[in-house]
């Protein structure tokens, strides 16, 4: 964990409302462990935006870190206005990572909405390790996609309006791929995205009795465990870790990646309301 003033080397819109930023931050980049980890960005040097913005890492190349973010509110708006050459204060790397096994599990990676970044990084890591896998990315419409739908390469894009790839959400595509995969291997799902998507995925993976790891979001104050804000509800039998009890878990320290059967996704507290703008 370090704080570093990083120099921005690129910041552009790669699809409608989806931005990609690269910056040089050797100290943090050298300490990164893997997909799922995030950084916490001080977007506003003044106090108009009091808190840092947690952003999942989308890739690390040498001393460069890439994030992919969706324009959502004033924090991400301010982020999108930064230009190459400008600097930005970063805290990281934070959080845990997806755990990947060497066994021939033929993973399925599912990303939707703001949850593309860690899934994309995992996709690239698995490619480097030559691990066969399926990538499914969802968006509302074609303009929000920056990848190409390519079933031959096991890359499936979905759109709510059918304007690109498969029609509908990522869920039916995932289920049909899961049927194919589980007929010949263990199957494991890695997912990140909006809560309704995660709930649907969990329902399906529970039915198929296969592992599902999810990178979760939460309203985060500090990112390092001192404010105790970013809790999610977990199953009470889980061992206590960084939060002070058994019922709640700190996403910043215990997460953001959780095994889907260790958290209560149906919890009335598990919601995206109160998202930072």
Binding residues vs another protein (CB under 8 A): 1-3, 42, 47-52, 91, 218-219, 221-222, 224-233, 243-248, 269, 273-274, 276
In the complex with another protein, the residue whose CB is nearer, 42 or 149, is 42
Alpha-carbon distance of 35 to 50, in angstroms, equals 27
In the complex with another protein, the residue whose CB is nearer, 94 or 126, is 94
- Following DSSP, what letter does each residue of the chain receive, concatenated? -EEEEEEEEEEEEEETTEEEEEEE-HHHHTT---BTBEEEEE--SSSSS-S-EEEEEEEEETTEEEEEEE--SHHHHHHHT--TT-EEEEEEEES------SS----EEEEEGGGHHHHHHHHHHHHHTT---EEEEEESSGGG--SPPBGGGTEEEEETTSSSSEES-HHHHHHHHHHHHHTTS--EEEEES-HHHHHHHHHHHHHHT-EEEEE-----SSSSSSS---EEEB-TTSPP-SSSSSSEEEHHHH-SEEEGGGB-TT-TT---TT---
In the complex with another protein, the residue whose CB is nearer, 138 or 221, is 221
Nearest to 95 by CA among 28, 49, 44, 42: 28
Residue 214 CB, shortest distance to another protein, in Å, is 17
Residue 102 CB, shortest distance to another protein, in Å, is 30
Residue 203 CB, shortest distance to another protein, in Å, is 22
In the complex with another protein, the residue whose CB is nearer, 142 or 224, is 224
In the complex with another protein, the residue whose CB is nearer, 92 or 193, is 92
In the complex with another protein, the residue whose CB is nearer, 163 or 229, is 229
Residue 220 CB, shortest distance to another protein, in Å, is 8
In the complex with another protein, the residue whose CB is nearer, 149 or 276, is 276
Residue 59 CB, shortest distance to another protein, in Å, is 24
Residue 49 CB, shortest distance to another protein, in Å, is 7
Residue 222 CB, shortest distance to another protein, in Å, is 4
């Amino acid at each position: 964990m370090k704080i570093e003033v990083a120099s921005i080397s690129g910041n552009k819109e790669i699809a409608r409302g989806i931005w990609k930023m690269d910056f040089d931050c050797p100290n943090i980049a050298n300490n990164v462990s893997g997909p799922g980890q995030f950084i916490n960005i001080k977007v506003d040097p003044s106090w108009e935006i009091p808190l840092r913005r947690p952003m999942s890492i989308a890739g690390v190349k040498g001393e460069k870190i890439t994030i992919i973010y969706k324009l959502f509110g004033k924090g991400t708006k301010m982020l999108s206005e930064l230009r190459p050459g400008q600097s930005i204060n970063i805290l990281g790397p934070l959080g845990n990572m997806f755990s990947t096994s060497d066994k021939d599990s033929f993973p399925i990676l599912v990303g939707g909405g703001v949850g593309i970044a860690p899934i994309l990084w995992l996709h690239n890591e698995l490619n480097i390790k030559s691990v066969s896998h399926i990538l499914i990315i969802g968006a509302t419409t074609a303009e929000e996609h920056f990848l190409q739908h390519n079933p031959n390469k096991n890359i499936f894009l979905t759109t709510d309006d059918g304007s690109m790839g498969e029609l509908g959400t990522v869920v039916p595509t995932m289920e049909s791929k899961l049927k194919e995969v589980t007929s010949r291997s263990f199957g494991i799902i890695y997912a990140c995205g909006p809560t309704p998507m995660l709930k649907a995925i969990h329902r399906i993976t529970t039915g198929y009795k296969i592992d599902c790891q999810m990178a979760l979001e939460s309203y985060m104050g500090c990112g390092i465990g001192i404010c105790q804000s970013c809790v999610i509800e977990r199953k009470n039998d889980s061992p206590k870790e960084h939060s002070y009890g058994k019922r709640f878990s700190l996403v910043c320290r215990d997460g953001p990646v959780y095994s889907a059967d260790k958290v209560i996704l149906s919890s009335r507290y598990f919601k995206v309301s109160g998202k930072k703008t």
